[in-house]
Amino acid sequence: MKNVVLLYLALCTGLISQVKAQDRVHIIPEPVSIQEQPGEFTLDNNVSLIVNSTDKQLEGTVKWFLDRISVSTGFYLKQQKESSGKAIRIELKKSDANQEGYTLSVTPTGISLSAATPAGIFYGLQSLLQLLPADIESASQINRTWTLPCAEIADYPRFGWRGLMLDVSRHFFTKEEVKRYIDEMSKYKYNVFHWHLSDDNGWRIEIKSLPELTKVGAWRVARTGRWGKFEAPKPGEPTPDGGFYTQDDIREIIDYARQRYITILPEIDVPAHSLAMIAAYPNLSCTQKQYSVNPGSDFYRKDDNALCIGNDSVFLVLDKVFTEMAALFPCKYIHIGGDEAYKGFWEKDPKCIARMKKEHLANVDELQSYFVKRMEKMLQSKGKKLIGWDEILEGGLAPEATVMSWRGMKGGIQAAKMNHHVVMSPWAFCYLDLYQGDPSAEPPTYGMCRLSDSYNYDPVPDSVDEKYILGGQGNLWTESVANYRHIQYMTWPRALALSEVYWSPKSKRNWDDFISRMESQFPRFDTARVKYARSAYNAIVKPAVNNGVLSVKLSTEIKGLDIYYTFDNTNPDPFYPRYSGEALTFPAGADKLNIVTYRNGKKIGEQFTVSKEELSKRMKED
């Protein structure tokens, strides 16, 4: 009987150890395979680092890793050829497997990381860092025990294009802020930084042969408030707001990104969204008027923000721009925008009419297509490929163009069926500037893209061959994003969700498990002083009208939350009514609904207020 009891206790102990082990690995994006094991590896100053290769790129990655962990641990591991003690072993192994993949083994006596390329090693190191405590994100040394749970991990990405886009035209962000964004995205295995460098609101890249672009186009009048509602520039008003990157800045940032295996995709948005360029060189528009760089005022169709396609000077200027950009950026693509062109000025412009007649173009859609095809040839002459927003399909797609589909999946599907490569970034799932929770609890913006929207979308529609889908990206337009802290708030955690969409196998997608792993990232964000949104914990408010009576249903994105509410203008907590699932109606005289969420008796969501008037307005808009 004693032996039976001992066996039972041993089995229970083993089961508890295994359960404990399986509760310690919380990597985002989710690896292809994880076999968690009991035990842990302790990192200290006696651990050696053994690297089997003299590859120069790998050497830089190893130095990055040593510098990275030394800040918070105080340890600077010694590199040795061999060690009889505990060691981290890094090995390059030539392989036909995915070139960004890696295998990582953590045991109590050592860590082994192998990959076919330095990029794979880098991604493996990012996973290794996520196995360490959240204190690894500290900017100063912390005296503690540093342990990693034991595990066997095999991993590789689903897609080769895993990007985030940052718009620096609507608001300018410094070189150091751009570097920080690159650092933050690299932690989650993103490998493309799409840099939106020009728009109506600012020209952000030095072009030495066209100095007016930055002398005039990089600066605008100062305004604060709600974008789109700003007062238009006054004659002679100073233009202190703005900035630009010198070509030396660009080179520095490119090198910084390269060290983190991130390719920078530059975008110059043409033929529309070009008011900053036109402000610098007024002869480039159809009207040839002297416009100001737009500060965020409503100018739609009043100012001509599109380049005149009938004007040969436009192509001479663009040739200078793209010649200098092609020399700067190693990326094989240059993004030319191509979106949202208002064609009304083209229809009436004598030069555009003459161009259409000469080139036998039936309409202004074909005129835009002519422009895009001419841009493609221009870029090809400089050794680059053209990529543009899905409007470049209108009037006929350039022969070798790659389409970035933003208005939905339709443009991407159409391009893929034409055997063109596609990068999926549909706005309803990938636009990081949209509301991520109830508008009453969020800074003002437009549209809605919840965390679950980003997580649950798939970039490959059933009707297309996956080989044409390069991958996808999240896009952060910055009309309503005036500072870096708000960049972080809008990016995280939705970019965690998208990182998993683009890296992890579709079969591994699990919302509840993702939420658990996301929550393990929050202490890391806190330690790194990264601002992030907790909007997914807020209640979702859905109004309806039945028999002329306004009612409200409440729900949450995340399971297991309790919703408490009041109609009497007081602040709800667990001693107030708990939402039961039935539709609520406003009592007579009540005009506001206050809502808050709790989990396990503790407040977890933001309390916010929705007025009866606002709910009625939403019903009309829907």
Predicted TM-score (pTM) of this structure: 0.95
In a domain, 7, yes or no: no
In a domain, 4, yes or no: no
pLDDT tens track for 275-324: 999 999 999 999 999 999 999 998 876 889 999 999 999 999 999 999 99
| Whether residue 480 is found in the same domain as residue 598 | no
CA nearest neighbour of 121 among 173, 52, 174: 52
Which residues have C-beta within 8 Å of that of residue 33, sequence separation ≥ 6? 152, 153, 154, 155
In a domain, 326, yes or no: yes
Give the C-alpha distances (Å, rounded to integers) separating 291 from 212, 294, 315: 14, 8, 20
Give the C-alpha separation, 249 to 173, whole Å: 12
| Whether residue 117 is found in the same domain as residue 229 | no
Give the C-alpha separation, 42 to 257, whole Å: 31
The label of the residue with tokens 């985002």 reads 28
Q: What is the pLDDT of residue 167?
A: 98
Q: What is the pLDDT of residue 11?
A: 40
**Rg of the chain on CA atoms, in Å:** 27
pLDDT tens track for 14-40: 433 333 434 789 999 999 999 999 999
Domain that holds residue 181: 161-535
| Whether residue 397 is found in the same domain as residue 488 | yes
| Whether residue 78 is found in the same domain as residue 212 | no
Low-confidence ranges of the chain (pLDDT < 70): 1-22, 301
User: The CATH number of the domain where 46 resides is what?
Assistant: 3.30.379.10
Ramachandran angles phi, psi of 227, nearest 5°: -55, 140
| Whether residue 547 is found in the same domain as residue 530 | no
Q: What is the pLDDT of residue 593?
A: 98
In a domain, 286, yes or no: yes
In a domain, 606, yes or no: yes
| Whether residue 261 is found in the same domain as residue 211 | yes
Give the C-alpha separation, 335 to 196, whole Å: 9
Q: What is the pLDDT of residue 15?
A: 39
In a domain, 10, yes or no: no
| Whether residue 127 is found in the same domain as residue 191 | no
The label of the residue with tokens 């918070």 reads 72
Q: What is the pLDDT of residue 84?
A: 80
How crowded is residue 21: how many other Cβ atoms within 10 Å of its Cβ? 18
Give the C-alpha separation, 27 to 43, whole Å: 19
Q: Calculate ∠ Cα 409-429-403, nearest 5°.
A: 40
Q: Could you say which of 535, 564, 592 is where a domain stops?
A: 535
In a domain, 429, yes or no: yes
| Whether residue 525 is found in the same domain as residue 558 | no
Q: Could you say which of 518, 535, 552 is where a domain stops?
A: 535
Q: What is the pLDDT of residue 619?
A: 87
| Whether residue 34 is found in the same domain as residue 130 | yes
| Whether residue 361 is found in the same domain as residue 504 | yes
Q: What is the pLDDT of residue 20?
A: 40
CA nearest neighbour of 558 among 451, 430, 471: 451
DSSP summary character for residue 464: S
Give the C-alpha distances (Å, rounded to integers) separating 596 from 402, 439, 577: 45, 14, 11
DSSP summary character for residue 286: S
The label of the residue with tokens 């390719």 reads 263
User: The CATH number of the domain where 230 resides is what?
Assistant: 3.20.20.80
User: The CATH number of the domain where 582 resides is what?
Assistant: 2.60.40.10
Q: Could you say which of 473, 503, 535 is where a domain stops?
A: 535
In a domain, 5, yes or no: no
CA nearest neighbour of 255 among 185, 194, 182: 182
Q: What is the pLDDT of residue 10?
A: 43
| Whether residue 526 is found in the same domain as residue 570 | no
Give me the active site residues, please.
340
Q: What is the pLDDT of residue 552?
A: 97
Do strands 385-389 and 333-337 pair parallel, antiparallel, or not at all (unpaired)? parallel
The total number of structural domains in the chain stands at 3
What HEC string does 46-106 produce?
Answer: CCEEEECCCCHHHHHHHHHHHHHHHHHHCCCCEECCCCCCCEEEEEECCCCCCCCCEEEEE
Q: What is the pLDDT of residue 191?
A: 98
| Whether residue 78 is found in the same domain as residue 186 | no
Q: What is the pLDDT of residue 546?
A: 84
Q: What is the pLDDT of residue 5?
A: 41
